[in-house]
């Protein structure tokens, strides 16, 4: 990480992360209290307003702080340290909104109006909901972070949105009833005639109950719109619900499809294999080996791994195979004394495979087309132990295999095709001679 | 299967499978009776409590038994026989939960309290729902088992979850009404004023009816929340329903998409083929052959089969093609007397194809690029019967085909390309000579 | 088509198709009248029972007829003509069910009971719903028939199932109310106290209204269960609805995803192309050519066409390209007088491509790697007309192109790579000489 | 663009586009006013009918205009200029419908009937909804236009359909109540006994409220069908809603799946890479390089770009790579003085890759298989600046690399494989000699 200028705060500093998380909690509090104050204000105690001013203070501090936090440039992917550039970027983007959402309008309104129940100032207070963009960008960040489960993040986001929608709709609907001239002709007044005298808790729960009953389209009908204003709000809310419900279902479908795709792919492959075996009446033993191999491949996720490697540039693939296989290959008796460059070329061309227990690697009388290295596991009939070679005589002398090699444990094996091996030997004559003498010494 | 130590019970023993299935039935009973006792206990007869103690006894036996059942290690895929390891694994995982869910709290509560209606002890009884993890893991296992239909398992799981949710919600909602001070201000009391005197059956059905009416969001409104407690529970239940409904729909969509994908793929291919034929005004006969071939390919699932084979390691593919084709190839007149190694090499390179009736295999004057073996079915014009070769003169003497070969029945055919065949002949000179003399003897 | 034995009726006979379609209409009538009779029987006029007997008569005729209709064997895909085999197959499959669903139970019941209102006999009448399997198998057949739109067939099927479910549920719910001892404590009696005296029409509409209100989960609550029996039926129906709604949504999602996939793929490709152009600041002209080409490819569905051809066996691909291109190639001046075998080899290796107007085919100074034939359309700069060759001098004499060739209209072009062309010329020396002399004669 | 005949209006003329957009606005107005007039006509003021006649006038003008607008032929993709062909095409397609939907039936009805409240004429007025096909075709066009966001267009379309359905259903339902003999036995009369005296606004809002309550299946039950006519309409509307809701959810799922697919693919690849690193215990440094490279690839959308290029014909790919790379390659010291044809061949074979900062391009001792050009960015250890070559000595003299090359910034690099480079050099002997002398001059 490049050195920061004095007074600047790294965005990767753990203390800054804690500060951001703390602000998120304050945002959640704001999102809850803000519609509540807006709708139930007339009867609310003054305590929340004091808390509000404290919360506003924290956000004011954050506005200051933002001028001292470098940002990552979108083109060069580098951290910009220059305080001027930081200030210009902030001032030209969210600064005005952030300030507007931090001004304590309620306290200001008290200067003009004794009770502060002015609807205009209340609307200004709603500007605090602008802070929700922090939550939104937090979720966007978490979704791309593989340390967190995608389904969990996505569900949390959807639940948050749903709860916020329910909360807001309940509060607005109460506000409409509260301001209506004839309290008995409102959705709540029709059931609780003196609702304005009831406690905050029972009114809040009733509003939430109406809200969720409508959102889930349960619609018992015990609470329903009584006048045109409420009908209009109901129309808007139900249209929004239609959209929200469809969005929830779409997301859930997406998660279900994604989460079950692996199991279904596995089933499809196993099904195809066993149908193939049944149609051609393959012997029991071959069918079992096939199914075992497919299960293992599914467990070790072999296919995806290969795709991942194919995407990487050559130098990276080279350093990975060097790291993984160089020692194993160097330790084989056949390659004692050969140049390390030869082994490097060999290693680049090798492919790793896993074999389940009791699977055949080489069959007797098979034509010799590949050379195998046993990295881990065990193989019988040819009695190979870890680090040994399989099929080297066949490949180098072009003879059919004289043994069948079969695994006894889960084994990892490196494979190189005969043509590639001979190609590399031809390019490096001296190493070829060493290999030939190694082969003769051992197999005489 | 490796030999088990004395006193140990194999997890693959059919009797153990029966025992496990029996326990699953007991779990289902527990899941049903447990919320029922919790909510309707005051009026329940004592019979279920006796049954409960018996059920608890069976689960206690299973806890003992678990110490004698080997488990499969997750890394080596081998069965662990050592009783110490089995005990350590169980004690450090589910043991405590299993014991807690088996203690007969109701019977214990009778020692302290004459009627056993204490809410605290009732909550402890709910711990028995921990046993549901057995059902959950059973479904996870069945989903990966291709002997069972995936859609059926998945639907059964979803229906079970839905029924359990309905049952629990109905019971809890009744419990809230039952404990409410003013029975007429409850959801059930508003409709049935003396509901506490009504029979268990009518109260249970009413609770279930409310529960399902709310879950499906039908919400007739004949039964609805009357006080804040019920509203709160309703809010929670409806939020859960939103999630559950979305999950059900997501799963159903997943199953529908998967189950129709084959038909849609088939339609897409046939559509593309017939559009191609229409755009280029191909003759009727060629179009019919194309569509027939595609239908056949769809029925025999040809594409998937090839993908399955490609995934397998070389030795396995070798033994499969050896098993399937060796005899057919050996029986052909052209390969009488050649070494079995030669035939093995040939067999490895061969590909199987199916042809619908009345499809052309080789056209007259076509350049000879492949050699075909008729495995089953029949071919006219060249009058080939099962086990015969097609196109051998063209391939070996490089002459254009003098006949068109056309199938009369559904036929399976092996194909080897000319270049591969000549490559193998060049590697095995002696076998090449035998083939040439075979060819001359027959075609003179 | 093979010759049928005397007295047998071909399943492909248009008259048999008409008969089958006629039976489907009768099945639809049965499916509608059967639950109606079951529920509203007490007040139904006797007219439908006469119609019923006539319908039963038609189905009895069809049972007879089935013994004379050959079937397609599932293994050999051939028509089985042998009357014995036809009879054995039918008797061992649906025969018993078909007979049971055809017996006129209502008429029989009149022999024992004057009014025929016995519930037992009514249940037997419900067996007629077995006929619905004909509708089910008809939909399965239509889904695979590309002459019909998949979405339309699928939607029709779903709507039929929904309507049938609504109809059945309404009838059963009415039956429950009708049989309940206290008519005022039923869902319909609570609203229409003397409902048994009301007309059939108003009772039927009310039952359907309740049924659809519940199925769509609208649940106004004006009609709702009043007793335990109705609650129980409501619970079952709502559980079924949950499943049915999820199934409908799943199917609709499937259709929407499939129907929009082409547009979305097109958008993705165009987006990727224009982003590529923007990022690399390609000149306007090249970008336009790219977008034109992609649009054309999307319209002519070029990608799918290639996939379709790849699936076909070699002989079929050969006859297609022979049909499409042989004449065009034979007509080119360069190939005057060469053997038809040479042209056939050439044709097999050719690939067809479409070019949008104002697209470059060959650029000046491009290295000559392909030879092009203009099948249709027009090309300027090199002034080529239909049936002409492009780039032949470059390819044969290995010189860089001296002109840029650009299309003026939508053009279809055949392409063969230089290496393949030279390979074929080498194999056919004499034809090569003719080509060379053709080239010299024209280009001197 | 080809020249138009006199008096013809180009369909691409911006003024014509404005005219079309203006008509769309009129269509939206028609779609709203038409059902409203139909249902609430008896109490409507006469103002809308004057507006109607003006709107009809505009559409009459458009019918005239259509005879002067050329169209694009579907086969040749060319603009048809011939006025006769334009007229024939229009007269044989939509002309009759367009005229019918433009006749001012209301004004005509006033000639026959003083009040114009005749239901027959009202139905004729509904013909104006035919104009909606303009909106439908506008959406079809916008969906394929990548300048607009697909999700936004699709959502707008769905919202429009939903709003129109709600509006129509509300109006029809009101019409049924309005025409019913007994006003107190209607859905609206049961709640508002003298509804015919109420204001238009309150009646319209109530109708919309009922409509949306039913569409979203909320179904409070405060407004519900009271007679058979309303029940019948309710049944039809609810069946339609079932279909519409499923369609909305299907579309939303489609959009969600598509919009999240990129993030999910990214997560899958990163997950696979980090699991691979964890399983093989790769060193921290290699893992970081892998993840960085994958992130970069995701950001620059590397995979899609390659797919886009592969689809294009050869000449187009050639001109793109010429435009992008010719100058860079020509500027390299190694290719000073070589023929431009040589560079063109080189450029065709090159592939562009992006490297994240601190990524290795060539490792020390790696076998030399590729030659790299640094287009932009910077590389250390071998101290390469923009426009320089990497690995040229290794490739040309076949020596292992003596340096590791590592990027310091985001870098774009061109790669050509050694075998292709040597192949091109062999084909162009003279250029090969120049390169060799260039190499010696610099590296001595």
In the block, which residue shows the tokens 């014509």? D16
A-D C-beta contacts closer than 8 Å: 161
**C-alpha to C-alpha distance for B101 and B114, rounded to whole angstroms:** 23
* pLDDT value for C303: 54
Across A225-229, A310-314, C300-304, C410-414, which has the greatest mean pLDDT? A225-229
For residue C253, give the chain A residue with the closest CA: A250
Identify which of C253, C303, C360 has the shortest CB distance to residue D249. Answer: C253
What burial letters (b/e) apply to D49-67, b meaning 16+ CB within 10 Å? Answer: beebeebbeebeebeeebe
* pLDDT value for D326: 84
Identify which of B217, B221, B253 has the shortest CB distance to residue D221. Answer: B221
Q: CB–CB of B59/B91 below 8 Å?
A: no
Rounded mean pLDDT of chain D?
Answer: 84
Q: CB–CB of A427/A417 below 8 Å?
A: no
* pLDDT value for A304: 63
* pLDDT value for C245: 94
- Minimal C-alpha gap between A322 and chain D (Å): 10
For residue A249, give the chain C residue with the closest CA: C249
For residue A199, give the chain B residue with the closest CA: B228
Asked if residue A1 has pLDDT above 50, the reply is no
Residue C126 vs residue B180, higher pLDDT: B180
Interface contact C221-A220, CB threshold 8 A: yes
Asked if residue D269 has pLDDT above 60, the reply is yes
Interface mutation target, options D262, D315, D341, D347, chain C, most CBs of C under 10 Å: D315
In the block, which residue shows the tokens 């003497």? B397
Query: Cβ neighbours of residue A22 under 8 Å, at least 6 residues apart?
Result: A58
Supply D126's token pair: 């509904």
Residues of chain D contacting A144 with CB distance shorter than 8 Å: 263, 266-267
Identify which of C247, C312, C319 has the shortest CB distance to residue B252. Answer: C247
**C-alpha to C-alpha distance for D322 and B151, rounded to whole angstroms:** 55
Asked if residue C311 has pLDDT above 80, the reply is no
**C-alpha to C-alpha distance for C200 and B346, rounded to whole angstroms:** 79
Taking only the tens place, the pLDDT of each residue in C406-415 is 887 778 888 8
How many other C-beta atoms can be found within 10 angstroms of the C-beta atom of residue C334? 18
Supply C333's token pair: 């001046």
Classify the C-alpha dihedral A327-A330-A333-A334 as positive or negative: positive
Query: Cβ neighbours of residue B128 under 8 Å, at least 6 residues apart?
Result: B30, B34, B101, B102
Query: Cβ neighbours of residue B229 under 8 Å, at least 6 residues apart?
Result: B176, B180
**C-alpha to C-alpha distance for D233 and D173, rounded to whole angstroms:** 7
Interface contact D341-C400, CB threshold 8 A: yes
- Could you tell me the end-to-end alpha-carbon distance of chain A, in angstroms, rounded to an integer? 59
A411-417: strand order across its sheet? A351-355, A411-417, A370-376, A389-390
Compute the residue count for chain B.
Answer: 444
Taking only the tens place, the pLDDT of each residue in D397-431 is 777 767 778 887 778 888 888 888 888 888 888 88
For residue A364, give the chain B residue with the closest CA: B315
pLDDT band of C360, cuts 50, 70, 90 = confident
- Minimal C-alpha gap between A219 and chain C (Å): 8
* pLDDT value for D113: 64
- The residue-averaged pLDDT of A360-369 equals 74
Query: What SS3 string covers B247-264?
Result: HHHHHHHHHHHHHHHHHH
**C-alpha to C-alpha distance for A317 and A305, rounded to whole angstroms:** 12
Which among A273, A319, A309, A314 has a CA at the least distance from the CA of A292? A273
Give me the half-sphere count of Cα atoms (radius 13 Å) on the Cβ side of residue D34. Answer: 25
For residue A216, give the chain C residue with the closest CA: C217
Residues of chain C contacting B162 with CB distance shorter than 8 Å: 239, 242
With a cut of 70, which residues of chain B have pLDDT below it?
Answer: 1-4, 42-47, 75-77, 113-119, 121, 301-306, 365-367, 380-385, 387, 401, 444
- Minimal C-alpha gap between A300 and chain D (Å): 10
Interface contact A221-C217, CB threshold 8 A: no
Angle between helices A119-126 and A105-112 (to 10 degrees): 170
Taking only the tens place, the pLDDT of each residue in C55-97 is 999 999 999 999 999 888 776 667 788 889 999 999 998 899 9
Residues of chain B contacting C254 with CB distance shorter than 8 Å: 253, 256-257, 260
For residue A345, give the chain D residue with the closest CA: D367
- Could you tell me the end-to-end alpha-carbon distance of chain D, in angstroms, rounded to an integer? 59
Q: CB–CB of C322/C349 below 8 Å?
A: no
Range scoring the smallest mean pLDDT among A12-21, B96-105, B336-345, D370-379: D370-379
CA C322 to chain centre: 31
Interface contact B238-A218, CB threshold 8 A: yes
What three-state secondary structure class fits D361? strand
DSSP-based helix, strand, coil % in chain A, nearest 5: 65, 10, 25
- Could you tell me the end-to-end alpha-carbon distance of chain B, in angstroms, rounded to an integer? 59
Identify which of C241, C251, C304 has the shortest CB distance to residue B272. Answer: C304
Asked if residue D356 has pLDDT above 50, the reply is yes
Asked if residue D303 has pLDDT above 60, the reply is no
| Chains touching D, CB cut-off 8 Å, 3+ pairs | A, B, C
Supply B272's token pair: 């593309």
Interface contact C221-A217, CB threshold 8 A: no
Interface mutation target, options C195, C256, C264, chain D, most CBs of D under 10 Å: C256
Supply C443's token pair: 């280009």
* pLDDT value for A76: 66
* pLDDT value for A4: 67
Interface contact B221-D217, CB threshold 8 A: no
Supply C141's token pair: 């057949």
Q: Which helix (H) or strand (E) holds C21?
A: helix C14-40
Q: Which helix (H) or strand (E) holds C60?
A: helix C47-66
**C-alpha to C-alpha distance for C247 and B51, rounded to whole angstroms:** 39
Residue D278 vs residue D217, higher pLDDT: D217
Q: Which helix (H) or strand (E) holds A119?
A: helix A119-126
**C-alpha to C-alpha distance for A437 and A94, rounded to whole angstroms:** 74
pLDDT band of D1, cuts 50, 70, 90 = very low
pLDDT band of C354, cuts 50, 70, 90 = confident
Which among D419, D418, D343 has a CA at the least distance from the CA of C400? D343
What three-state secondary structure class fits D420? helix
Interface contact A341-D409, CB threshold 8 A: no
Q: CB–CB of B408/B378 below 8 Å?
A: yes
Q: CB–CB of C210/C191 below 8 Å?
A: no
In the block, which residue shows the tokens 């199991």? A263
What three-state secondary structure class fits C412? strand
Supply D127's token pair: 């013909």
Which residues, in sequence order, are bridge partners of residue D355?
D411
φ and ψ of A192, to 5 deg: -115, 90
Distances (CA, A) of A399 to A35, A364, A365, A418, B322: 83, 11, 9, 12, 19
Which among B287, B294, B289 has a CA at the least distance from the CA of B265? B294
- Minimal C-alpha gap between D45 and chain C (Å): 34
* pLDDT value for A303: 54
Q: Given the cut 0.95, state whether the ipTM is greater than it.
A: no
**Structural domains of chain C ordered from first start:** 1-144 (no CATH), 149-281 (1.10.287.70), 305-442 (2.60.120.10)
């Amino acid at each position: 990480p490049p050195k920061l200028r004095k007074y600047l705060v790294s965005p990767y500093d753990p203390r800054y992360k804690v500060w951001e998380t703390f602000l998120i909690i304050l945002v959640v509090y704001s999102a809850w209290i803000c519609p509540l104050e807006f709708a139930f204000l007339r009867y609310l105690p003054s305590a929340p307003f004091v808390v509000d001013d404290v919360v506003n203070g924290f956000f004011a501090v954050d506005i200051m702080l933002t001028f001292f936090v470098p940002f990552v440039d979108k083109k060069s992917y580098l951290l910009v340290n220059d305080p001027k550039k930081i200030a210009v970027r902030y001032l030209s983007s969210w600064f005005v909104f952030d300030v507007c959402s931090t001004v304590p309008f309620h306290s200001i309104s008290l200067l003009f109006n004794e009770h502060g129940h002015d609807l205009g100032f209340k609307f200004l207070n709603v500007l605090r909901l602008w802070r929700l963009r922090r939550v939104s960008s937090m979720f966007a960040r978490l979704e791309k972070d593989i340390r967190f489960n995608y389904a969990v993040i996505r569900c949390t986001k959807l639940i948050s949105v749903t709860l916020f929608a329910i909360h807001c709709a309940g509060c607005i609907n109460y506000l409409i009833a509260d301001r209506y001239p004839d309290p008995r002709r409102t959705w709540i007044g029709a059931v609780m005639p003196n609702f304005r005298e009831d406690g905050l808790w029972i009114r809040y729960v009733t509003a939430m109950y109406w809200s969720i009953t409508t959102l889930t389209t349960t619609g018992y009908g015990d609470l329903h719109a009584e006048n045109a204003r409420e009908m209009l709000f109901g129309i808007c809310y139900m249209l929004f619900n239609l959209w929200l419900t469809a969005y929830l279902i779409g997301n859930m479908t997406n998660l279900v499809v994604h989460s079950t795709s692996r199991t279904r792919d596995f089933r499809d492959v196993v099904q195809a294999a066993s149908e193939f075996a049944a149609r051609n009446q393959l012997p029991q033993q071959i069918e079992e080996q096939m199914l075992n191999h497919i299960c293992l491949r599914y467990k070790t996720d072999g296919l995806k791994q290969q795709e991942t490697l194919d995407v990487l540039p050559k130098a990276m693939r080279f350093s990975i195979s060097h790291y993984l296989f160089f020692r194993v290959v160097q330790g084989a008796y056949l390659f004692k004394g050969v140049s390390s460059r030869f082994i490097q070329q060999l290693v680049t061309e090798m492919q790793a495979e896993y074999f389940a227990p009791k699977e055949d690697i080489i069959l007797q009388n098979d034509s010799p087309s590949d050379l195998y290295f046993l990295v881990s596991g065990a193989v019988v009939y040819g009695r190979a132990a870890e680090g040994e070679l399989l099929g080297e005589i066949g490949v180098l002398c072009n003879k059919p295999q004289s043994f069948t090699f079969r695994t006894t444990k889960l084994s990892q094996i490196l494979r190189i095709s005969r043509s590639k091996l001979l190609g590399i030997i031809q390019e490096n004559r001296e190493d070829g001679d060493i290999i030939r003498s190694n082969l003769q010494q051992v197999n005489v």
